[in-house]
Chain A
């Protein structure tokens, strides 16, 4: 005959369950942040190029505004 250790109430109190967030992959047309970046957001201002985003890929024109 085996004697099993009883589950204590303290152990029972520690039993927990959590609702997991749904896993949803995102692909923003334009990602958020303090600035913003769009792969296709060229905004021409008087011949110069304005781009908001992490990467200023519009360096071809010079005279750019880039916002992190």
Chain B
């Protein structure tokens, strides 16, 4: 989250401020107007803040959270009102007196830099949020219009009786599947038949796309417009995504429905697989059902922007859990602090484990990838193309795992290097200490890896 505080243009009561320099509204004397496509969304509903923030959406989809006063000023900017008229109208709405210079200050110092009020003096694009761990190399599977059409088409699936029926069906089916022997038979079949493994992989990919359609449909059901559904790279992993930024405009129930829509569509997919199994008795479908459950559990992780992350954020009433805790209600602050402690603990454990075992992990993955490559080549020579395809997928995934672990280590090193540089800037003593600490860490890790024999057996 990028925070903007009043800055840069000079306070109206200080030398060099608008009072001293005269009007600074958008380059000329014309009344200010909102930038094209600006949508005032109103209050962020059911928020965990002591003073509920207000939301504005730009034409490029960027949503901005702002204080009530800024929102009131923005809502009075219509291309005809002068700063005086804006100040009068805001004062009436606020119950406090805002001077025209102060209104001018907020417009020029805040709303123009954010791209909320048009600035004819520059064509530079306004700033966008720098998302943590965002997707890269994005491609579109369903553009916005198609995603909305799908959402509209599938909306009936969110009607109460349908939801209850789906959940009850899956509960009953799970009891039957996990208490019978069908699952073990399905796994045995899949492991012995590469073609079945390809079917499982294909159906799970389809399930992932359907999961994203669930988010889009839930967003549409609540009255917001989903953006595109696509595929990109999360670190190094292929990942499907849906842009549901517009769900910020919904209340807590609507946002939670959007968060849970993907998991709900996983249940719908499971019901469809069960129906197909009933018709075909293909045990491989039971494996798909089992793995769909695991995918759902994975999605409930409250970290790294899985569905669980959004669910936790919406239950607390905070649009971004990485936000500063200032301004939160006591209960929300405690919950956000608890989440942050959990996230730090989770990351420390997982990243610490990774650092301590990087050579070990990559040795196993490398052996796996090279073994699969040999199996793939042998299967291809023997004309067993299904086995060759399975081997190729497995080899690629193992190789991706190697790339992912190395990429994460490089990211960590870069981040630590940047922090060290910032901490020791202009302080030779600190700089020497930082270099010593880095040297000690690298030496310690190398010694640990060596003592553990992690460099052997490659």
Contacts and interface: CB of A to CB of B under 8 A. Distances in A.
A13 B353 contact: no
Interface residues of B, number: 107
Contacts of B237: 28-32, 36
A46 B368 CA distance: 10
A35 B5 contact: no
B97 A4 contact: yes
Interface of A: 4-7, 9, 11-46, 49-50, 52, 54-55, 57, 60-61, 65, 67-68
A16 B67 contact: yes
Nearest to B53: A18
12 contacts: A6-B96, A7-B69, A12-B6, A16-B67, A19-B2, A19-B129, A21-B320, A24-B241, A31-B298, A36-B237, A43-B372, A61-B191
Given A6-B96, A16-B5, 13 more contacts: A9-B13, A14-B67, A17-B110, A19-B114, A20-B1, A23-B244, A24-B242, A24-B245, A26-B239, A27-B299, A28-B239, A60-B191, A68-B350
A20 B55 CA distance: 9
B226 to A, nearest CB: 10
B62 A19 contact: yes
A3 to B, nearest CB: 9
The 8 closest A-B pairs by CB, nearest first: A34-B354, A17-B66, A19-B129, A39-B291, A6-B97, A19-B2, A40-B201, A28-B239
Contacts of A55: 294, 297
A50 B204 CA distance: 20
B128 A27 contact: no
Contacts of B5: 13-16
B248 A25 contact: no
Contact of B97 (A5, A22, A68): A5
Contact of A22 (B55, B69, B94, B245): B245
Contacts of B323: 18
Contacts of B397: 30, 36, 38, 41, 43
B65 A18 contact: yes
Nearest to B201: A40
A25 B322 CA distance: 16
Contacts of B304: 32
B401 A26 contact: no
B129 A15 contact: no
A25 B153 CA distance: 20
A25 B212 contact: yes
Given A12-B106, A43-B398, A17 B67 contact: yes
B241 A65 contact: no
Contacts of A15: 5-6, 66-67, 69-70, 106, 110
B261 to A, nearest CB: 8
Contact of A35 (B191, B212, B361): B361
B197 A5 contact: no
A20 B2 CA distance: 7
Given A7-B97, A24-B244, A30 B400 contact: yes
B320 A29 contact: no
Contact of A21 (B132, B204, B205, B259): B132
B105 A12 contact: yes
B257 to A, nearest CB: 12
A32 B408 contact: yes
Contacts of A18: 1-4, 64-66, 323
B158 interface: no
Interface stretch (B27-35, B305-313, B333-341): B305-313
B320 A34 contact: no
Nearest to B239: A28
Nearest to B319: A20
Contacts of A26: 135, 234, 239-241, 305-306
Given A17-B70, A24-B241, A28-B234, A9 B11 contact: yes
A40 B200 contact: yes
Most buried by A among B55, B106, B405: B405
Most buried by B among A21, A27, A65: A27
A27 B398 CA distance: 19
